[in-house]
Amino acid sequence: MNMILLKVFALHLTLLHIGDANKFRVIKPNVIALEVNGNPMKQKTSVVLSCGDQFDNSEIHWRKNQEKIDVKGNRVEVSIEAMLGGNFTCHEESGDVLNHTLVLVSPLDFDKAILLRNDDKEFVTCVARNYSGPFHCSWKWDPIRNGVVVFFSASRNSNMLKCSLDADNAGLTCEDLQCPFSEEVTRINLTLLVRNQYRLEEHQRTFFIHDIIKPGKVDITKAENDAFEWKIPKTWNQPCSFFPLRYEVKVVSHRKECEETSGEGNHSENHYVSETHYKVIGRKSYTFCVRAQDSFTNKVWSDWSQHKVMKQKSRK
Ligand SMILES: *[C@@H]1O[C@H](CO)[C@@H](O)[C@H](O)[C@H]1NC(C)=O
Ligand SMILES: *[C@@H]1O[C@H](CO)[C@@H](O)[C@H](O)[C@H]1NC(C)=O
Ligand SMILES: *[C@@H]1O[C@H](CO)[C@@H](O)[C@H](O)[C@H]1NC(C)=O
Ligand SMILES: *[C@@H]1O[C@H](CO)[C@@H](O)[C@H](O)[C@H]1NC(C)=O
Ligand SMILES: *[C@@H]1O[C@H](CO)[C@@H](O)[C@H](O)[C@H]1NC(C)=O
């Protein structure tokens, strides 16, 4: 450690806890994360960076986020205060970039703030439409931050699944290799690492496909004289086995949408059926609502499908 660094350190000694050098994890090539306990704003950590073994005896200088910093050589120790990581680049004398290391700070005991929680208080929502297709995980960025995906992976039983990031950076689509025939005995383990500036946040989900099965919306195909028929969701077709669905039917006021009356139950008649037809009896105008659920797991309901029936005022 050189004198200038020592002086900078001394200035902060009273308020800052100086973390252990080199306590970092490699996220992927050229990206490391310093794991910081406690309040990251009150910490200062040092880390040793190296440009590359082949540059051991060269005159290397360094920049942090393109600004020159006062360290030289292949191996240098830099200090990271609070969450002020950065992109450290090493340069040869001419100024050309030789290599870089993105240094992120991962606060372990700090509230997560880069993604928004969903209604179930989770940051990442995973859904599968059937047992044979891909599953999809999505998240919402906090609009006041400038979040970036750093890394993602999904595995089952330490077999990596093939995942790709959606074009909008707010979701992942992964192929599950498991045959839909076999019983699911191990969970899928999903990891998502995101950053805002140089602050890193880790999100993990572990789940069975059968817990995240949410059928697609059913298609109401017929609505005549209060008799309704619908088809199983298009995405529910199974090529190699049969997975039954059950349906929830309710009839609510024609002034309401199906979602609005969820959980009310009083003024609506809810029925659970396995067939794909239903007859409404003794109602004037109304909204007919139907949604589907995997009847093996009884877990997640599809979104509602609805059909409004408007009748003339009774003739008198
Ligand atoms: C560049 O730096 C990374 C660390 O960020 C290191 O793993 C890699 O080996 C270096 N590349 C070369 C060509 O030395
Ligand atoms: C870090 O710097 C390298 C070299 O200039 C560049 O290729 C890379 O995109 C930068 N990374 C970030 C996150 O700014
Ligand atoms: C999931 O993966 C992460 C990162 O690879 C690992 O730390 C964690 O222990 C795994 N969890 C399970 C339940 O396998
Ligand atoms: C399963 O669902 C996916 C959408 O997640 C869909 O693309 C695929 O066609 C569905 N599979 C079948 C057999 O319908
Ligand atoms: C709806 O039902 C609940 C419980 O069954 C009852 O407490 C509540 O008073 C009912 N609301 C109306 C508007 O009838």
CB 101 near ligand 1, within 6 Å: yes
pLDDT digits (tens, 9 = 90+) for 227-250: 999 998 988 866 544 678 999 999
Q: Give yes or no for residue 17 having a pLDDT over 60.
A: no
Q: Give yes or no for residue 10 having a pLDDT over 80.
A: no
**Two structure tokens written together for 143:** 């609009």
* 3-state SS class at 292: strand
Domain 115-212 matches domain 219-309 at the CATH topology level? yes
Q: What is the pLDDT of residue 24?
A: 85
Least confident interval from 10-14, 122-126, 241-245, 299-303: 10-14
Q: With pLDDT > 90 as the criterion, what percentage of the chain qualifies?
A: 63
Rounded Cα distance, 232 and 235, in Å? 8
Q: What is the pLDDT of residue 265?
A: 53
Other beta carbons less than 10 A from residue 51's beta carbon: 25
Q: Does domain 115-212 have CATH number 2.40.30.10?
A: no
State the fold for domain 219-309.
Immunoglobulin-like (2.60.40)
CB 2 near ligand 3, within 6 Å: no
Query: Closest residue (by CA) to atom 12 of ligand 1?
Result: 52
pLDDT digits (tens, 9 = 90+) for 127-170: 999 888 899 999 999 999 999 999 999 999 888 999 999 999 99
Of 225, 233, 272, the closest CA to residue 250 belongs to: 272
Angle, CA 300 vertex, CA 294 and CA 304 arms, to 5°: 95
Q: Give yes or no for residue 280 having a pLDDT over 90.
A: yes
Distance 52 CA to ligand 1 centre (A): 5
Each domain of the chain, given as residue ranges in start order, spans 3-107, 115-212, 219-309
**How far out from the chain centre does Cα 295 lie?**
27
Residue 34 or 11, more confident: 34
State the fold for domain 3-107.
Immunoglobulin-like (2.60.40)
Q: What is the pLDDT of residue 278?
A: 96
Rounded Cα distance, 12 and 297, in Å? 57
**Two structure tokens written together for 244:** 């039954």
